[in-house]
Every structure is written in C-alpha cells, then in structure tokens.
Amino acid sequence: MKIRMIAKLAAGAALIAMTAGAAKAAEQVEVLHWWTSGGEAAALNVLKENLQKQGVAWKDMPVAGGAGSAAMTALRARVTAGDPPTAVQLLGFDLRDWAQMGVAANLDDLAKKEGWDKVIPAALQNFSKFDGHWIAAPVNIHSTNWLWINKAALDKAGGKAPTNLAELITMLDAFKGQGLTALAHGGVPWQDGTLWEAVVLSTGGPDFYKKAVLDLDPAALSGDTMKKVFDTMSKLRTYFDPNFSGREWNLSTALVIEGKAGAQEMGDWSKGEWLRANKKPGTDFVCIRFPGTQGSVLFNADQFMMFDVGGDAEKAQLKMASAVEDPAFQIAFNTVKGSVPARTDVSNEKFDDCGKKGMADLAEASSKGTLMGSLAHGYAQPAAIKEAMLDVITQHLNGQLTTEAALKRLPEAVKAAK
C-alpha cells in the first residue's frame, strides 16, 4: 500500500519533471522591433503563426517610438549586458555598425541552401552581408522616391501626371490656384531629407546621386548641380502650408487623402494610409515616381539582423530566418505594409497597381544598377554622416541657411562627421 503510493508519487513527480523539461527545451525566438501600428502588427502575426506551427515560440519585444531610436537604446542595453535578442529589426548602416561589434550570427549555410544570393537584389545584399557572410534576413524593400497625388485635384489640373521638375512646378501652381496646400510636407529632418534625395536624383540623375550622396565627392556636394537642388528645395518650400513644422508624415498624407492638399512626396509606406481610408490606386489617388526619377529606385529595407545567441537558440533562429524569406510571408507582409518583397522571384498577383509598379521598377533598377540606398533612411551613409547632412538640408529648408551657405556647409559637415 505504502510502497504503491510512493511509486505513484514518484511517477507523478517524474511526469511533472518531464513536462517542465519539455517546456524548457521548446524553441523560442525573441524579436526586437518597432512594428506596433495595427497593420504592421497584423503583418507580423503571419510570421508568428508560421513559426508557432514549427514549434517555435515567439517572444515579442516591441519598442515603439522615434522611428526605432528607442529600440536602438534598448538594444544597446541588451548587447552591453551580453544578452542580445535573437533577431532585431535594423536598417542600413546600423547593420554594419553592429556587425563590426562582432555580435552577428552567421546565416551562410541557410542562405546557400535556399539560394538567397540569386533572388535578393545585390544592392540589398551589401547590407544583409558583412565581410561576405549573411547576417540578416531582409523582410521588405521600401522605396522613397514616390509622389502621391490626389486624383480629383490632378483631374482638375489637367489630369496629366508630371514627368519632370518643370511639370511638377506647373502642377503645384495649378493646385495652388485651386486653393489647396500644393505640397503636403512635414518639417522633420528625415522627411526633409526624403524630399531632398528625390530632388537630387531628379536634378542630377542616378550618376550624380551616386557621386554626391554615396561617394560624398566634395565637388559634387558644392557644385552647380547641387546649387540647382537647393534652389529647387527653396522653390518647393513655397508650396507648403504654414503649419508644416514638426508634422508627422501620416498627418500630411491625411491632408492629401482629405483633398486639403494636392500631393505628397513620401516613401511607399504612405500607401498604407490610403488603403486604410478605403481609397483605391488609380481612382482615388495616383502613385508615380517623383518626377524625373522614373527608372531609378532609392531603397530602404527592413531587415531582421540575427545576433549570435549560440547553442540551442540558434536552431530556432535559423527557422525564423527561413520563415522570413518564405515567399508566402513576403507576400502576406508586404501587401499590408505597402512595400515590395525583398526577393525578386515572388509573384505580383496579390499586389495592387502601385505594388506591381513598385516591383517592376525594383527589378528594372536592380538590373540597370540604379537601385541605390536612401540617405534619409540610413542606406546611403552611416548615422553620423547622414545626420550631419540632414542638419544642413533641414536648416536650409527652414531658412536658417542661405543656398550659398548650405553649399559651403554640406562638404564641411560631411568631413567633420567622418
């Protein structure tokens, strides 16, 4: 009797121990990201469910705020403490900065098995690889040189979308004549930079963009073409409304959606705002490349950088990296987010017209070598140089610097930040 009870107890204890052990051994990934808005969170859920089916638990670590700068502060603390998360949403040169610290995982085997080298654009691979080794799984490709136009306002202004800067000015004048805010813009440094880089690309073409923004050639940064760029910025400034300072990008998009403003230069994430307002591309709004930049794409891609976590956690990490590059996830995520897939072999069937155009433009630019990193979003220069250039751009746009002073200051600022 007594012995039997002891045996039962022992069996029970063993059972508990076993289940506890199993729970502990279950694979888990901890993901640091700032996709907290409704649509983004829903898109991320697709990835979460896919991993759960494979028995990998998802530990969410969302840090909202400051377009990721709050998340970076959290990441610094975790890495300094020697306990990095499994995967972290990162952009551009930040990937390199972290990889230089020697904290990146190596995804080479997986990338080889799944053939990432062939399907991910080379310009993007420059950032997903460090020292020739894969360290990150790119999620999407955004591009920044878009112009979003309210269709009703455009129809009143003649109905023809502008294809160069002169036509853009004509259209903006027509919008002004309709009593609208011609160009909706938010006066925040990164938005000023987004507009500026589109103007650089339009004024000087892709070769000039490469020379000035990617190679930081001092002559290009202070030459005649750059003078034209700054003059165009001053001109565009006259089409803003007086309340543009410090306005969030989505509020500017809302002005265009409501028909209070005519157009907005912004990355393709602003399409999400249109779709949420139940507007349709082609009938309610028109998406074109920023006038004069058709054929080139300035990109900004979200990537999950994998940190060196070692041991058991690595298996889960590789499963996650593989799931990110799964075409089904790429489609599900990017149709919601407004971006296009990070791999070029995905079917465009489920995407709307703007998405299809984005994918076609990306493939074209990638093959022509005109797929270039966006300055304002950290894919052209490291943070220190990027911010130094944005300082000059934003001060010029706000009238703190004259065009002459900006031309002098720009190469100086770049030099000082190097």
Partner 1 sequence: MTTIEPVPVVVPQRQGRSFADGLRNALPKIVLAPSFAVILLFVYGFILWTVYLSFTTSRILPVYKWGGFDAYYRLWSQPNWYVAMQNLAIFGVLYIGICIALGLAIAILMDQRIRAEGVLRPIFLYPMALSFVVTGTAWKWFLNPGLGLENTMHNLGWTSFKFDWLVNPKMAIYTVVIAGVWQASGFVMAMFLAGLRGIDGEIIKAAQIDGASSVSIYRRIIIPLLRPVFLSAFIVLAHMAIKSYDLVIALTGGGPGNATELPSTFMYSYTFTRNQMNVGSASAVMMLMGITAIIVPYLYSELRERKQ
Give the interface with partner 1 as residue ranges (CB under 8 A). Answer: 66, 69, 72-73, 76, 79-80, 94, 97-98, 101, 187-189, 241-246, 382-384, 387, 391, 394-395, 397-400, 409, 413, 416-417
CA–CA separation, 232 vs 227, rounded Å? 9
User: Reduced to 3 DSSP states, what percent helix, strand and coil does the chain have, rounded to the nearest 5?
Assistant: 55, 15, 30
Distance CA 174, CA 13 (A): 80
Name which of 94 and 273 has its Cβ closer to partner 1: 94
Minimum CB distance to partner 1 smaller for 320 or for 397: 397
Q: How far is the CB of 248 from partner 1 (least distance, A)?
A: 10
Q: Which of 205, 131, 119 is nearest to 165 (CA)?
A: 205
CB-wise, 97 or 108, nearer to partner 1? 97
Question: Taking a C-beta distance cutoff of 8 angstroms, is the pair 387, 417 a contact?
Answer: yes
Sequence-distant (6+) residues with CB within 8 A of 345 are: 119, 327
Q: How far is the CB of 303 from partner 1 (least distance, A)?
A: 17
| Cβ distance to partner 1 smaller for residue 241 or 284 | 241
CA distance 236 to 191: 13
For residue 29, give the H/E element and its range: strand 27-33
Which residue reads 């990835």 in tokens? 47
Length of the chain in residues, anyone?
418
What beta strand segments (E) does 75-208 contain?
87-90, 129-130, 133-134, 136-138, 140-143, 146-150, 181-183
CA 87 to chain centre: 17
In the bound state with partner 1, the residue whose beta carbon lies nearer, of 297 and 406, is 406
The CA–CA distances, whole Å, from 176 to 164, 220, 262 equal 18, 33, 9
> What is the closest distance, in whole angstroms, from the C-beta atom of residue 251 to partner 1 in the complex?
11
Shortest Cβ 314–partner 1 spacing (Å): 23
Pair 213, 197: CB distance under 8 Å: yes
Q: How far is the CB of 133 from partner 1 (least distance, A)?
A: 19
Whether 298 contacts 198, CB under 8 Å: yes
Closer residue to partner 1, CB minimum distance, 316 or 392: 392
232 or 394: whose CB is closer to partner 1?
394
**Residue at 36: amino acid letter:** T
Cβ proximity to partner 1: between 68 and 338 the closer is 68
Q: Which CB atom, from 243 or from 367, has the smaller least distance to partner 1?
A: 243
* Cβ-contact 40, 269 below 8 angstroms: no
Q: Which amino acid is at 145?
A: N
Do residues 298 and 201 touch, judged by C-beta distance below 8 A?
yes
C-alpha span between 352 and 280 (Å, rounded): 9
Shortest reach from residue 246's CB to partner 1, in Å: 5
CB of 22 to partner 1, least distance (A): 37
